[in-house]
Amino acid sequence: NTSDFAAIKLRQRVAVNMEGRSTATTMIGQPTAMPVAIAPTGLAGMQRADGEILAARAAKAFGVPFTLSTMSICSIEDVAEHAGPGFWFQVYVMRDRGFIERLIERAKAAGCGALVLTLDLQILGQRHKDVRNGLSAPPKPTLANLVNLATKPRWCLGMLGTRRRTFGNIVGHVKDVGDVSRLSEWTAKQFDPALSWADVEWVKKLWGGKLILKGVMDAEDARLAAQSGADALVVSNHGGRQLDGTVAPLR
C-alpha cells in the first residue's frame, strides 16, 4: 500500500485561474469540507479514553464524515449524544441476524447518515503484527504492559476517569456476552463465511438509507455491488491485515 501511494506524483499546472478554489464536495449527497471520511477503526476508545467521541467531534468540527466501528468502545448512543447525529456506522453480517437487526435499528434511532457494510471480514485474518504485540481485548496485564503503563500516568488517569471501557455496541446487547471477557469467543464464532449478495440486499432493505460497501477490490464485485443496491464503495484491502497478498487499493 505504502509503496504504491509513494509512486504517485502530482501534476503541477501553472497559469491557471486559482480564484474561488475549494476542497468542498459532496459524498452520498452529504456536503463535506473535503473528499475525505474517517474510516471505521475498532478499539479506538481502548487507545484513548472516549476516543470515538473525541474523533467524531473533531470530524464534525472539520466538516468531514466520521464512521463508528461496530467494534468500538463508545456505543452508538454515546457518540450520538456527545457528537450529534449524522455520523456513519459500520456493521458486519454476522451469524446472529437478530443482533444485526437490533444494531441497525439502533443506528437509525441515533440518526446515522449512512451504513458502512464491511465485506472482507468473513473469516478473521491471521494478523501477525497483533500476534507479535500480544494485542487482545481485554488487554492482558503482562509485566511489560504494567511497566509501560507506569510511564503513562496521563493515559491511566484518562482511563480511570471514563466509564467507557468495554465494547458499547455489543456487551450487554447480546445474551452470551455479559462482559468483555466473553467477547473474543463470541466474535470469533459470529463472522459468517457464507456471506452473499443476498445478505447485502437484506441489509439494504432493513436499513433503508444510504449503504456504503467496504472492502471491494475487484471490478466484477463492484458491478455486483451496484446491482445489490449500494450507494457507494470503499476500495480497500483492510490495510493488508486480512489478505496480505492482495494488490494495493490504489492500483
User: Measuring CA to CA, how many Å separate 230 from each of 187, 202, 227?
Assistant: 26, 12, 7
Cβ-based burial of 137 (10 A; exposed 0-12, middle 13-18, buried ≥19): middle
CA 200 to chain centre: 17
The residues carrying an active-site annotation are 238
Phi, psi (deg, nearest 5) at residue 89: -130, 135
